[in-house]
Amino acid sequence: LFTCVGRRVGLINLFRKSAQRLGLKLGVYGCDAERLSPALYVCDDHEVVNSVREDAYINTLLDLVKRWDIGLLIPTIDTELPVLAENKQRLIDSGCEVLVSEPRVIRACYDKLNTYRYLSAHNVGTPKTCLPAEALESEDFEYPCIMKPAHGSASRGIHKAYSKHDIEFYSHRHKDIIVQEFVEGGEYTCDVFVDRGGEVRCCVPRQRIETRGGEVSKSKIVKRRDLIDEAVKAVNSLGCSFGMITVQELLANDGRIMIFDINPRFGGGVPLAIHAGADFPGWIMQSLLGKQDHEQVDYYNYQDGLIMLRYDSEIWL
Site residues (vs Mg ion, CB under 5 A) = 248, 261
By CB under 6 A, the residues from 73 to 132 that bind ligand ADP are 127
By CB under 6 A, residue 271 contacts ligand ADP: no
- Closest of 300, 288, 289, 180 to residue 242, by C-alpha: 288
Among 63, 111, 187, 215, binds ligand ADP (CB under 6 A): 187
Q: DSSP string of 216-275?
A: EEEEEE---HHHHHHHHHHHHHHT--SEEEEEEEEEETTS-EEEEEEESS--TTHHHHHH
User: What residues between 194 and 233 interact with ligand ADP by CB under 6 A?
Assistant: 214
In angstroms, rounded to a whole number, what is the distance separating the alpha carbons of residues 311 and 274?
A: 18
The answer to whether 248 contacts ligand ADP (rule: CB under 6 A) is yes
| Binding-site partner at residue 180 among ligand ADP, Mg ion, none, CB < 5 to 8 Å by type | ligand ADP
Angle at the Cα of 231 from the Cα atoms of 229 and 233, rounded to 5 degrees: 65
Give residue number: closest CB to ligand ADP.
261
Shortest distance, CB of residue 261 to Mg ion, whole angstroms?
4
Taking CB under 6 A as the binding criterion, the range among 30-38, 92-100, 181-189, 284-292 that sits at the site for ligand ADP is 181-189
**What is the nearest approach in angstroms of ligand ADP to the Cβ of residue 116?**
10
Q: Is 95 exposed, middle or buried (0-12, 13-18, 19+ CB in 10 A)?
A: exposed
Are 139 and 108 a contacting pair, CB within 8 Å?
no
**Per CB under 6 A, which region of 82-90, 98-106, 178-186, 221-229 contacts ligand ADP?**
178-186
Which positions from 124 through 163 interact with ligand ADP, judged by CB under 6 A?
A: 127, 146, 148, 152-156, 158
Q: CB of 302 within 8 A of CB of 308?
A: no
Strands 97-98 and 72-75: parallel
Torsion of Cα atoms, 104 then 173 then 148 then 253, to 10°? -150
Q: How far is the CB of 75 from ligand ADP (least distance, A)?
A: 16
Stretch that binds ligand ADP, among 89-97, 168-176, 182-190, 194-202 (CB under 6 A): 182-190
> If you compute the radius of gyration of the chain from its CA atoms, what whole number of angstroms results?
20
Shorter beta-carbon distance to Mg ion: residue 94 or 248:
248
Q: Which of 8/201 has CB closer to ligand ADP?
A: 8
CB of 248 or CB of 286, closer to ligand ADP: 248
Compare residues 127 and 132 and give the one whose CB is closer to ligand ADP: 127
Q: Are 124 and 233 in contact (CB under 8 A)?
A: yes
Q: What is the arrangement of strands in the sheet containing 129-130, beginning at the earlier edge strand?
A: 129-130, 177-181, 145-149, 159-161
Least distance to Mg ion, CB of residue 248, Å: 5
CB 172, CB 229: distance < 8 Å: no
Listing DSSP states for 150-197 in one string gives: TT--TTTT-EEE-SHHHHHHHHHH-SSEEEEE---EEEEEEEEEE-TT
Q: Which is nearer to ligand ADP, 40 or 108 (CB)?
A: 108
CB of 283 to ligand ADP, least distance (A): 26
Number of residues that bind ligand ADP (CB under 6 A): 19
Binding site for ligand ADP (CB under 6 A): 127, 146, 148, 152-156, 158, 180-183, 187, 214, 248, 250, 260-261
